[in-house]
Amino acid sequence: MVSEPQPDSVSVMRLFATQLRREIQSTARSPEEVINPLIFLFLAITLFALSIGGGAEDLRERAPGIIWVLVLLANMLSLESLFRRDYDDGTLEQMLLLAQPVFVPILAKIVAQWCMSGLAMTLLAPLAALILYLPTSELPVLLLTLLLGTPALSLFGAVGAALTVGLRRGGVLLALLILPLYVPVLIFGAGAVTEHMVGVGVDAQIYWLLAITMLALTVAPFAVQAALRISVEQ
Amino acid sequence: MLLKVADLACQRDGRELFAALAFEVGEGECLEVRGPNGSGKSTLLRCIAGLFADYAGSVETGRYLYLGHKLGLNGLLTAEQNLKWYQGLVGAAGSVSEALASVGMAGYERVSCQNMSAGQQRRIGLARMLIAQAPLWLLDEPLTALDSAGHELIATLIEAHLGRRGAVLCATHQNLQVAGSRTLELGT
């Protein structure tokens, strides 16, 4: 006879896995929530490629900035829906009431969101670089900065999403809240690629990105938890 | 004592909903919260559930299940996926299919919740009561959208829970038809 696990002692791993499975199932049912921001990214990059005149040389110089800004905006698009559905259907209430500790399923949600936005965009970045004539020699730096920087975007963004989820039209407010938080990531991310193009060492920027992401990882889940409580208790 | 409320007072938008509210719900007891619309039934339950913090007084409670107006079901997911998630969250074991069968929804495991009627979704929500294994049930208008068979189902589920030495606090407009339940009137 196998003894039943006590309801009070849910292992952290089971909690994380439970939430992650739910995110995957939910995304499988509505893949457009993942695909649309990616399509936006490539449409916008194409628009830049079409509108900036002057040929490959001009485009190449601006490519790091363009890619980073658009990754940032596309990421924000997918953040709007991070907690929206859970808030509307009441699963957020249940999550806040029942999960012990609450930050574990929250972190699982953010990890899932990053995999479907930041990670997906990192993997597609070579294509974006191709459209903007970025030389392949710059690809490793671009991919590394995106890989290290995008988790911070998702983590900071989740705080904004949690604060605005109770508002019916939170979209613009979300942008106003989190875009300032994105600035350091943008500066170090785009800066690293640009400087690498002119042959300057970029170790410092890489370490900064790593530090920002680590800081976000330590602080954001708890900030999101507090923000969700405020949103639900209204 | 599974629920002890003392000197509870709550205001919303400057309007006093209730003040100096005190009651206890012990093992095997069912307390129905009655009152007109806007008398604070839902707010009282949310205060007790910890979903509304702006109150004065004290609330003592152990583990509980909260079933509110929002059912906590993701419409994209199937009944089974929703309930499995809930099980993982509370760390409960047991069969999801059996819980669905007990609320009259056997065979709906693989159906997306958004393709169900309001009453059927309610029943899936009720299945949570059986999965949670919580001693105290906080139910906010559980009869909403249910047919008369559903009303009987709720009475049966509550009576079985009381028989297991559980306790129920239920906000409702209609008669629960649970034998021996007490009533708390709000807004009088």
Superfamily of domain B1-62+136-188: P-loop containing nucleotide triphosphate hydrolases (3.40.50.300)
Residues of A with CB under 8 A from a CB of B: 4-11, 14-15, 17-19, 21-22, 25-26, 29-30, 85-86, 88-91, 93-99, 105, 229, 232-233
**Whole-angstrom Cα distance, residue A143 to residue A189?**
10
**Whole-angstrom Cα distance, residue A216 to residue B65?**
33
Mind listing the pLDDT tens digit of every residue in chain B (188 residues)? 899 999 999 988 888 888 999 999 999 999 999 999 988 999 999 999 999 988 999 999 988 999 999 999 999 999 999 999 999 998 888 889 999 999 999 999 999 999 999 999 999 999 998 898 899 999 999 998 899 999 999 999 999 999 999 999 999 988 888 888 899 988 76
Note whether residue A188 is domain-resident: yes
A5: which chain B residues are within 8 Å (Cβ-Cβ)? 91-93
**So what's the pLDDT on residue A37?**
94
How far from A85 is each of A23, A58, A90, B46, B167, CA to CA, in Å?
A: 11, 43, 8, 20, 31
**So what's the pLDDT on residue A2?**
38
- Tokens coding A99: 């999960």
Q: Which of A11-20, A51-60, A152-161, B91-100 has the highest mean pLDDT?
A: A152-161
List of residues 6+ apart from B92 with CB closer than 8 A? A5, A7, B131, B132, B133
Note whether residue A7 is domain-resident: no
Which chain B residue shows the shortest CA-CA distance from A98? B90
> Per residue in A83-130, pLDDT tens?
999 999 999 999 999 888 999 999 999 999 999 999 999 999 999 999
This prediction's pTM: 0.91
Which of the four pLDDT bands, split at 50, 70 and 90, describes residue A7?
very low
How far from A137 is each of A99, A193, A210, CA to CA, in Å?
A: 46, 10, 22
Which of the four pLDDT bands, split at 50, 70 and 90, describes residue A148?
very high
Range of the domain at A107: 12-232
pLDDT at A204 over 90: yes
What is the overall mean pLDDT for chain A?
Answer: 91
Instruction: Say if residues B110 and B141 touch (Cβ distance below 8 Å).
Output: no
Q: Helix-strand-coil percent breakdown of chain B, rounded to 5?
A: 35, 30, 40
C-alpha neighbours within 13 Å on the C-beta side of residue B106: 5
**Whole-angstrom Cα distance, residue A219 to residue B60?**
31
**So what's the pLDDT on residue B181?**
87
User: Hey, are the CB atoms on B85 and A19 less than 8 Å from each other?
Assistant: yes
**So what's the pLDDT on residue A9?**
61
User: How many domains is chain A partitioned into structurally?
Assistant: 1
Which of the four pLDDT bands, split at 50, 70 and 90, describes residue A5?
very low
Tell whether ipTM is more than 0.95.
no
Q: Which among A9, A89, A95 has CB closest to B73?
A: A89
Q: Which among A10, A30, A91 has CB closest to B91?
A: A10
The distance of A162 to chain B (nearest Cα, Å) reads 16
**So what's the pLDDT on residue A86?**
94
**So what's the pLDDT on residue A42?**
95
Tell me where in chain B the CATH 3.40.50.300 domain(s) lie: 1-62+136-188
User: Hey, are the CB atoms on B88 and A10 less than 8 Å from each other?
Assistant: yes
